[in-house]
Amino acid sequence: MTDAPEFPSIPALFDLGGRTVVVVGSASGLGQSSALGIADAGAHVVCADLDEAGAQSTVELIAARGGSAKAAALDVTSTESVEAIVAAHADAAALVMTPGLNIRKRMLSTTDEEFDRVIDINLKGTYRLMRGFGAEMAERGRGSIVTFSSFRAIVVEPGQGLYAAAKAGVVQLTKTLASELGPSGVRVNSILPGPFETPLTVQIKSDEEWWNAYAEKTALGRWGILHEIAGPVLFLCSDASSFVTGHSLLVDGGWMAQDGRFSPRV
């Protein structure tokens, strides 16, 4: 009989001290909150975004909290831009990808150009980053990749077709890369946020009925608060999730857990 392994310190498993984490889409919204949370855990964060000024603002927020970060310009629709950031940060211990574009239109009213734009940012941009950083991590034999899909990968509503299709594709890319890189020691997981107030949901907030309906559909009866994404991201980036890969983690306030149409008097 072999001795049981020593039980580790659980708080230490969440410690990212000495590691570099690249957070794409960190200028605002869920990406900015992810970057702040990861920096709080001790990582040096590369805040990458098409909006470099916004990324720099996130760097300043991290610095004000005593953390370490730098800004980097990145266009996820450009293979050359992605390859450049991979080369510059090939030693990254983790990659988090949050960029998204949603064009809310009924499918019969959409255009080829809108389809291509939504797919290029949400799906192909994620693919480019996964491919680049995945190769580097596989060579080193370790690393964590966290993609951002959406609860819309599972359930839809009228006007969400292009976005839902792209985000469903992200889930499948995540599972595939998890399968392919698992033997190399690289983990790949996806977060599926529910309703959070971000730049992507400004259109919904402008319609009180639409906004309130979303809140009422969740089991918690409200929208998510931006900082509430940081814990799940940290978990998947850290050693606390060392046996978790190929997973789709819903962070949706219980949206998918209940029917939501009616509360019977029972």
Start-to-end CA distance of the chain, whole Å, equals 54
Average pLDDT, the chain: 95
Structural domain boundaries in the chain: 17-196+229-249
The catalytic residues are 163
CATH class of the domain comprising 17-196+229-249 = alpha beta
> Residues 84-129: pLDDT tens digits?
999 999 999 999 999 889 898 999 999 999 999 999 999 999 999 9
pTM of this prediction?
Answer: 0.94
Task: Please report the pLDDT score of residue 238 as a whole number.
Answer: 98
3-class state of residue 55 by DSSP: helix
Residue with tokens 């970057």: 35
How far is it, in rounded angstroms, from Cα 254 to Cα 208? 21
Structure tokens at 100: 């998204």
DSSP secondary structure code for residue 255 in this structure = G
Arithmetic mean of pLDDT, 63-85: 98
pLDDT level of residue 2 (50, 70, 90 thresholds): low
Segment 128-155 mean pLDDT: 97
Tell me what the mean pLDDT of segment 137-141 comes to: 98
Residue 142 has pLDDT above 60, yes or no: yes
Q: Residue 1 pLDDT > 60, yes or no? A: no
Amino acid at 6: E
Report d(CA 12, CA 31) in Å as an integer. 24
Q: What mean pLDDT is predicted for residues 185-189?
A: 98
Query: Percent of the chain at pLDDT above 70?
Result: 99
